């Protein structure tokens, strides 16, 4: 019997200044909209799911209590880190150097249009 109180991660909220712009960016990165609704007046919730499933990103409007420009802690996977690095740069994101360490898979880090940091590595 599993006594765990929490069973899985459903989504991670990412604060953004322009939800539609961020939605377009993540669609171009391969995410699909799984939910886009107004939960209450002035509060829109957009969930986007990676192509192969897993936890969603929730693009929520930034505020004083939820600022942009954060390290999201999100770790994405890709089959080709070099191509992903080029793709995020082509989409206008600030991509750092590819990290090619002997003891780890090829990794990259990029900032979205709101300067939120996401990280990615090649999958095995």
> How far apart (Å, rounded) are the C-alpha atoms in residues 109 and 99?
9
The mean pLDDT of the chain is 93
pLDDT of 8: 87
What confidence category does residue 1 fall into, taking pLDDT thresholds of 50, 70 and 90? Answer: low
How high is the pLDDT of residue 38?
94
Structural domains of the chain in order of their starting residue, each with its CATH number: 11-122 (3.10.180.10)
Tell me the DSSP string of 21-39: HHHHHHHHTT-EEEEEEEE
**What are 6-56's pLDDT values in tens digits?**
888 899 999 999 999 999 999 999 999 999 999 999 899 999 999 888 899
């Amino acid at each position: 019997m599993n006594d765990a109180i929490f069973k899985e991660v459903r989504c991670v909220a990412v604060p953004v200044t322009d939800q539609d712009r961020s939605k377009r960016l993540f669609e171009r990165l391969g995410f699909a909209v799984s939910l886009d609704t107004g939960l209450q007046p002035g509060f829109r919730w957009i969930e986007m799911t990676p192509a192969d499933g897993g936890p969603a990103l929730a693009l929520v409007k930034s505020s004083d209590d939820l600022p942009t420009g954060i390290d999201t802690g999100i770790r994405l996977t890709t089959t080709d880190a070099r191509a992903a690095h080029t793709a995020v740069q082509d989409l206008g994101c600030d991509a750092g150097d590819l990290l090619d360490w002997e003891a780890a898979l090829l990794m990259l880090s990029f900032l979205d249009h709101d300067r939120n940091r996401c990280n990615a590595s090649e999958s095995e």
